[in-house]
Amino acid sequence: MAGAPKIAWVLHVLTRYVPHRFYAQIPGWPEATMDDHGRLLAAIRDRDADRTRAEMQNHIVHADELLAAHVEARAAEVR
């Protein structure tokens, strides 16, 4: 996240204030965590900065898609 202070701030806030059990309730989240983080760590281990950057971007987009789908589904239940 070098050079991305806004992303670092958002991640800090989320990890501090969102209950950890919340994420386990999101369909696909545990699998995404394992798969996405595995690819990210492999890129870091290989010291491949471009791949690491791409994997982190992919992970953020993937997490956003899962979270948005979960929020939309919950909102539909309330209506």
Q: Is the residue at 45 inside a domain?
A: yes
pLDDT by position in tens, the chain (length 79): 456 788 778 777 777 767 777 778 889 988 998 999 999 999 999 999 999 999 999 998 998 899 889 889 888 888 7
Tell me if the pTM is above 0.95: no
Q: Is the residue at 14 inside a domain?
A: no
Question: What gap in Å lies between CA 68 and CA 2, rounded to an integer?
Answer: 26
Q: Is the residue at 72 inside a domain?
A: yes
Q: Is the residue at 39 inside a domain?
A: yes
Q: Is the residue at 7 inside a domain?
A: no
Q: Is the residue at 5 inside a domain?
A: no
